[in-house]
Structure 1
Amino acid sequence: MKSYHLRPGAGIDGLTVREHDEPAPGPGRVLVRVRASSISLRELLVLAGNYPLPVSPDIVPGCAGVGEVVAVGPGVTRVAPGDRVAATVFPDWIDGPFGLDLAAQLGSSRDGVFTEFALADERALVHIPAHLSFAEAATLPLTAVTAWNALTGGRAPMPGETVLTLGTGGVSLFAVQFAKRSGARVIATTSGPDKAEHLRALGADEVVDYRQHPRWGEEVRRRTGGLGVDRVVDVVGDLSQSLAATALGGEIAFVGHWLGSDAPGRTPSPGDFFTAGAVLRPLAVGSRAAFETMNRALDVWQARPTIHREFGFDEIPQALRHHAEGGFVGAVVVNHG
């Protein structure tokens, strides 16, 4: 078997490929033939040495992968050979609130999924929806679970409420679908008519072009009759505009801050938060229980992700570079064969 290994801070060029003996699962462990994985900004941050959680030298990168169970160790009861499964990004986070004792993560402190075969604890695996291909299911562990947590981990959206999503990244595309199927009115931001059309096709009721409206938060509030939205799924980090868009008592699910320069406005002050009356809820992906609940919803809705492009296992460096270029809609997926 082959696997990729990283050198912290060395970037994409620091990746190496090595051959290993196929491992055998011990008690409670499962051997998975990885069939597909997905690329995200998170992987680029890990490789560049800019990730907030510890990154171990020589670790196998990649946190989002799916595959087929090929062997199980003694005592395993949750899965069986032939099952199609996904690995949870935080293997120890089964349910309940997140804590530092649960922060061990695939692809940074534990070996990840940029490999042909992976060993996993049976507790860290979930069955993937039957209607999804391996390539489609590879988008679930990171971006889909994050979107689900953003919408349901606090107070779930109610029918008739308004949800704002930002951009056309993987989390946002899932958030549009989840919010719309929950009965919410969905407003999305993006740049350009092609991306806007794709968002509408997924269910967005209105789209705000942030190039035409640099102060998009004010434009969103205008489109809600001055009330603001009940929920913002903020993957950008422009909190001044998210606050401007949020209704009194609304929630900002704060997914990422790496993209935000806050250029259209200014850095929010404590007074801005008090005046807005909004709740800021930072979050990190989600638990196994959240993943399983989301999969049940996907089964009912028969929802599918948007895939932008697929690469082969030997093309993982190219896939990472392509993702870094940006400008696309949907997920970049690696087909492991």
Structure 2
Amino acid sequence: MALPTTTRAWSIAEINKDSFDSLVLKDNVPLPKLGERDVLVQIEAVSLNYRDLAIPKGFYPFTLNLPVVPGSDSAGIILATGSKVTKFAKGDRVCTLFNEHHQTNPITPEAVTSGFGGAIDGTLREYAVFGDHALVKAPSTLNAIEASTLTCAPLTAWNALYGLQSKAIKAGEWVLTQGTGGVSLSGIQFAAAAGATVVATTSSKEKAEELKKLGATHVINYRETPNWGEVARSLTPEGTGFDHILEIGGPGSLEQSLKAIKLEGVITIIGFLAPSDKQPPLMDALNHVCIVRGIFVGSKQQFVEMNRAIDSNKIKPVVDSNIFSFEDIKTAYQYQWDQKHYGKVVIKIAN
């Protein structure tokens, strides 16, 4: 069968704060010629992140070049490889990186500005040509829908727990996660697999039970318990606090995270979901004698390590029960925007 030379692809050319109508499906978009280190991929599935919603609405704080094909997370099948590609072969299932030039840590300025679906064309298309450096082999224990969720949220959680090597998570430590977004759900799974004790927060009694099924030992309803930082801390041995906190909310929840952190513990700042005028001053990190660390997803090397752990521990990503079609992208975006989901929202592209 002849290889495709064009693809259908979604595009964002402008900002629209009121809706997702700036997403436009285009036909017959030319595919570039396959270079010697390139790989032609049939994209099977794409999962969404909060970042994907922020881009068309105009409040994504990092590098953005419009027009752009949206989406960073995907899994697909290799259809062809360039003459000098040695680590992949036709038929391999692969996942895309978030930042194509983030190969190892520490992250570089070049890597920060190489994000799929923001700085460069992303994954919401039927076929794509990628450099072989921008791909990793998918875990053998996951199907395409599951593997499509790994690029951003799980890898960010992995980086939070393992990226600072001197403070990498160990059995017996205590970890705090916030909410039921993709990073937190993966953080619970990875921390539990490492032998840590996990305390999670949520505002939903129903979701609290799901968090316990994933491996959380304690769940705190942060709406019922506004001062959840001190309450969470009281659960730790002798009230000493947490070794790791995955800080998802940003300014709106950082004050509570500082109350919960252990001396020399690590707060990893990941999200910007809860804006607030009460952002703690930077010097509060000194008052609590802790490490406050900002991260931007993770490297290819970490992706490989994470996939190995996923296979070894038979970890299954949490996927929302509603799977959307390629043509129904706007509905998928709105569904996640309305917070109707639990787990990753996935678009199935290949039949």
Q: TM-score range by the shorter chain?
A: over 0.9
Number of the residue aligned with 2:15:
9
- Structure 2 counterpart of 1:132, from 137, 142, 155: 142
Could you report, residue by residue, the CA deviation over 1:76-116 in whole angstroms, capped at 9, with x for unpaired residues? 11111110000101111111201212121100111100000
Separation in 1 of the partners of 2:101 and 2:147? 21
Number of the residue aligned with 1:247:
262
- Structure 1 counterpart of 2:100, from 71, 91, 95: 91
Secondary structure at the counterpart of residue 259 of structure 1: coil
Secondary structure at the counterpart of residue 10 of structure 2: strand
2:87 matches 1:78? yes
2:332 matches 1:332? no
Contact 1:23 / 1:31 at 8 angstroms: preserved in 2? no
Number of the residue aligned with 1:213:
225
Separation in 1 of the partners of 2:276 and 2:95? 34
**Counterpart residue type for residue 136 of structure 2:** V
1:22 is displaced (CA, Å) by 4.7
Number of the residue aligned with 1:47:
56
1:226 is displaced (CA, Å) by 2.3
Number of the residue aligned with 1:276:
288
Separation in 2 of the partners of 1:327 and 1:164? 24
**Counterpart residue type for residue 343 of structure 2:** G
Larger CA deviation: 285-294 vs 5-14:
5-14
Number of the residue aligned with 2:171:
159
The total of aligned residue pairs comes to: 334
Could you report, residue by residue, the CA deviation over 1:106-127 in whole angstroms, capped at 9, with x for unpaired residues? 0011110000001100011100
**Counterpart residue type for residue 241 of structure 1:** Q
Contact 2:335 / 2:341 at 8 angstroms: preserved in 1? no
Larger CA deviation: 239-248 vs 13-22:
13-22
Could you report, residue by residue, the CA deviation over 1:224-255 in whole angstroms, capped at 9, with x for unpaired residues? 24211111011111110110010111000110
- Structure 2 counterpart of 1:196, from 208, 216, 219: 208
Secondary structure at the counterpart of residue 197 of structure 1: helix
Contact 1:8 / 1:55 at 8 angstroms: preserved in 2? no
Separation in 2 of the partners of 1:6 and 1:91? 20
1:271 is displaced (CA, Å) by 4.2
Could you report, residue by residue, the CA deviation over 1:257-295 in whole angstroms, capped at 9, with x for unpaired residues? 232437xxx431244221211110000000000000000
Separation in 2 of the partners of 1:270 and 1:192? 31
Secondary structure at the counterpart of residue 151 of structure 2: helix
Contact 1:37 / 1:64 at 8 angstroms: preserved in 2? yes
Contact 1:59 / 1:107 at 8 angstroms: preserved in 2? yes
Separation in 2 of the partners of 1:312 and 1:88? 22
Cα distance change on mapping 1:209 and 1:140 into 2, 3 Å = same
Residue segments in structure 2 that go unaligned for 5+ positions in a row: 1-6
Contact 1:131 / 1:299 at 8 angstroms: preserved in 2? yes
Separation in 1 of the partners of 2:147 and 2:92? 13
Separation in 2 of the partners of 1:109 and 1:271? 33
Separation in 2 of the partners of 1:67 and 1:214? 43
Secondary structure at the counterpart of residue 187 of structure 1: strand
Cα distance change on mapping 1:314 and 1:283 into 2, 3 Å = same
Secondary structure at the counterpart of residue 59 of structure 1: coil
Number of the residue aligned with 2:188:
176
Residue segments in structure 1 that go unaligned for 5+ positions in a row: none
